[in-house]
Amino acid sequence: MNSTSYVACPECDLLINYAQPKVGEKIHCPRCDVLLLKPSKQTIERTFALSFAGFILFFPANFLPLVSISLFGNANSDIIMSGVLALFTKTMWPVAIVVFLTSIVFPFAQISLSLLISGHLYFNQPNRYLICWMRWIHHLNEWVMLEVYMLSIIVACVKLMAISPLKFGWGLYAFVALIFITTLLISNRDNHLFWQRIEQLCKDNNHAN
Amino acid sequence: MQTKTNALKQGFIRCHNCGYLTKALHQLLACPRCDSHLHARRPQSLERTTALLLSSLFMYIPANIFPIMTVNQFGTGDTHTIAGGIIELIDTGMIPIGLLVFVASILVPSLKLLGIGLLLICVHFRWKINPRRWTSLYRIIAFIGRWSMLDIFMISILVDLVHFNGVQIIAGPAAIAFSAVVILTMFAAENFDPRLLWDNQPS
């Protein structure tokens, strides 16, 4: 029995023998219904393009003001990092670290790792760190909380609108676009294909040496 | 062709990182494709999940008792707990937003603690259940966990925006406890292995 034509369901451990699905087909686990494989066209090219766009958008989303408020003639504007710093100085450093990690560090790590992996696969460049990067990105997905942050911007705005008028900055538009990109990136990435390509690249590299 | 048995019963171990199937004959310790440690089920899944769940349960009490933020207005401080903030939102007529915050910071954490507890009890006492339904319970718990961070992010935005001479918003001690609850329950859900639900059922 050749083990490569089999997969085990990650959630119920059912051993499944499958025929390679065509583009656009989906394979669900017949027992617990989890989505196993969803091949699509040009996965690597799309991931590369999306993570490149995300990498560019990350900077305006983080350095331009998201929202500004003015009260008694004074104006304050908010970027993600200034929210972290405001918490950090007020003995709330554990919360500040959590916010810093989930809304700045992890999104940046996810986008840059995705750019590195898809870039190497796109240009067929073997790299001994590819396996490491794939393992890290596998654990990051759940801890990237940009869309939760967006929802809390909305709630905070509704709360503050009663006090004084708000102004939305260019950073907010970049931030919304960044959320679209990361969501597409997660739904588009095909781990199965990526691992197969990485395995192939490593093998070819070993033969060449 | 469909097989009706677990991969483990056929002697296969699935790598938790890359999904590679390995024949578990030679006591292999590392996955041949990605070199990560191989284990058929998450190691000490029940013990770790229980420990994380109990710690988050303890943190849940200060998270709800202590104020999550203080609004200083010209010298007078006004403290809000999590529930107090929601009641104020609803009182001022912002019912949809109030409901949203209620779901994210009260309903989701408490249902999550309850749900993970149920999953643990179910696996420990080997209840005869419909594993398909319980697996979807697990999936819902794992999916909704992150949305509880809403309150924490909101505080970071409010503290940053509202720091004027007369009016200030300051984060309270409950914010630390509440973020601990969210993160500990996320780790608990990550450590729980849904395949244990299927192992206990007669096939």
Three-state SS for A112?
Answer: helix
Count of structural domains, chain B:
2
Query: Region A152-175: what's the mean pLDDT?
Result: 86
CB contact under 8 A, B19 and A13: no
Quote the pLDDT of residue B27.
Answer: 63
Residues A25 and A71 in one domain: no
CB of B21 less than 8 A from some CB of A:
yes
Nearest beta carbon to residue B176 from set A94, A159, A160 = A94
Cα–Cα dist B3/B11, whole Å = 13
Identify whether residues B124 and B163 lie together within a single domain. yes
State the pLDDT at residue B1.
Answer: 41
Tokens at residue A153, please?
């911007």
Which of A2, A4, A9, A15 is the best mutation test for B, with the most CBs of B within 10 A? A15
Assess whether B116 and B32 both reside in one domain.
Answer: no
Q: DSSP labels for chain B?
A: -EEEEETTTTTEEE-TTT--EEE-SS---B-TTT-PBP-SS-TTHHHHHHHHHHHHHHHHHHHHHS-SEEEEETTEEEEE-HHHHHHHHHHTT-HHHHHHHHIIIIIHHHHHHHHHHHHHHHHHTT----HHHHHHHHHHHHHHGGGGGHHHHHHHHHHHH-B-SSEEEEE-THHHHHHHHHHHHHHHHHH--THHHHHTS--
Both A154 and A192 in one domain: the answer is: yes
Same domain, A81 and A173: yes
Question: Are A179 and A101 in a shared domain?
Answer: yes
- Contact B97/A at CB under 8 A: yes
The per-residue pLDDT for range A79-121, each reduced to its tens digit, is: 888 888 888 876 788 899 999 999 999 999 999 999 999 998 8
Comparing A136 with A205, which gets the higher pLDDT? A136
| A125 and A179 part of one domain | yes
A4 & A65 share domain:
no
Question: Domain containing B23: what range?
Answer: 1-40
Residue A170 and residue A108 share a domain: yes
The domain that contains B104 carries what CATH number? Answer: 1.20.140
From chain B, the residues in CB contact with A131 under 8 A are 33-35
Positions in chain B whose pLDDT score sits under 50: 1
Q: What is the ipTM of this complex?
A: 0.87
What is the tally of structural domains in chain A?
2
Q: What is the mean pLDDT of residues A146-172?
A: 87
pLDDT at B53: 94
- Residue window 97-136, chain A: list those with CB within 8 Å of chain B: 98-99, 102-103, 131, 134-135
B49 and B14, same structural domain? no
Say if B147 is an interface residue toward chain A (CB within 8 Å): yes
User: Domain range spanning residue A29?
Assistant: 1-39
Arithmetic mean of pLDDT over chain A: 85
Same domain, residue pair A146 and A109: yes
A171-197: average pLDDT: 88
Residue A7 with chain B: CB contacts under 8 Å: 14, 19, 21
Please indicate, yes or no, whether residues B14 and B87 belong to a single structural domain of this protein. Answer: no
Same domain, yes or no, for A93 and A168? yes
Q: pLDDT confidence of A3, banded at 50, 70, 90?
A: very low
Q: Could you tell me if A35 and A61 lie in one domain?
A: no
- Predicted confidence at residue A29, as pLDDT, reads 83
More confident residue, B139 or A73: B139
A152 lies in the same domain as A165: yes
**Could you tell me if A119 and A153 lie in one domain?**
yes
Say what the pLDDT of residue A1 is: 38
